[in-house]
Amino acid sequence: MKKIFPAASALVFLFCACTPEVPPPPVERNDLVVRFFRSLRQADGDTAAMQCEKLYAMEKRNYFLLRLINVQQANNYVRAAQNHLDAGDLEAAVKVLEKGLKRHPDNANLLRELGLLRKLRLAEKLFLTMRTAPNPTAMNAALVAARAGLDGIESRELNDFFDRYARSIERWNTRRVGNDPAAVKVPIRTFDDK
């Protein structure tokens, strides 16, 4: 009898230790979802992202939660960057997003927004070049460079500005050709021209 007791206890231990991992009870999942939405209501993106990470640990196949984690990680940083932009401080907005990328280096939303802000930083130089272009050839080169440098920024105002600038090049060409028969008309190149 003494030999059976240790063998039986070893078998019971093996069966208990080898059971598959039991998922957490639905109450815990529901509580996480409620806390997640509470964090969203309070505009606390870090806490909401943490709740999403816990939910994702429970449901590894739910890729929607991965996307939601990325969005929540980026929310606070994007909101702070927008506040700096609204105040006219582009450099502070860039620094906020760079800080967010140090904390979440693989966050695609932060990378995309930082890329757009860097294009806005470049826009100031491009517009200055367009404003100071001395002739239609330089104006056309500045327009092509601005369209290429700001590609990806979708704005009706920006497209209208580029169209007005192209028309001003055409007017300049028309005036020069009309006043001087020997003047050479500079063709306007578009971003699509190769």
Within-domain flag for 3:
no
Residue 59: left if φ>0, alpha if ψ -120 to 50, beta else—which one?
A: beta
Same domain, 32 and 80: yes
Same domain, 53 and 102: yes
Per-residue burial over 66-104, b if 16 or more Cβ lie within 10 Å, else e, is eebbbbbbbbbbbebbeebbeeeebeebbebbeebbeeb
Same domain, 110 and 145: no
pLDDT value of residue 164 = 93
Using the 3D structure, point to which of 60, 91, 121 is the last residue of a domain.
Answer: 121
Mean pLDDT (10-residue bins), the chain, 194 residues:
53 51 68 81 78 80 78 83 90 92 87 88 89 89 90 86 91 70 54 50
Q: At what angle do helices 108-131 and 90-103 cross, to 10 degrees?
A: 150
CATH number at residue 46: 1.25.40
pLDDT value of residue 194 = 44
Within-domain flag for 76:
yes
pLDDT value of residue 122 = 87
Using the 3D structure, point to which of 59, 93, 121 is the last residue of a domain.
Answer: 121
* 49, 35 contact by CB (below 8 A): no
* 171, 165 contact by CB (below 8 A): no
Predicted model pTM: 0.57
**Which residue type is seen at 86?**
D
Same domain, 146 and 188: yes
- Those residues with Cβ within 8 angstroms of residue 71's Cβ, 6 or more apart along the chain or in another chain: 109
pLDDT value of residue 162 = 92
* 118, 152 contact by CB (below 8 A): no
Within-domain flag for 91:
yes
Domain of 102 in residue numbering reads as 26-121
Within-domain flag for 16:
no
* 55, 65 contact by CB (below 8 A): yes
What's the number of domains the chain is made of? 2
**Which residue type is seen at 169?**
I
Using the 3D structure, point to which of 94, 121, 148 is the last residue of a domain.
Answer: 121
pLDDT value of residue 116 = 87
Residue 67, CA distances (Å) to 6, 62, 64 in order: 51, 9, 5
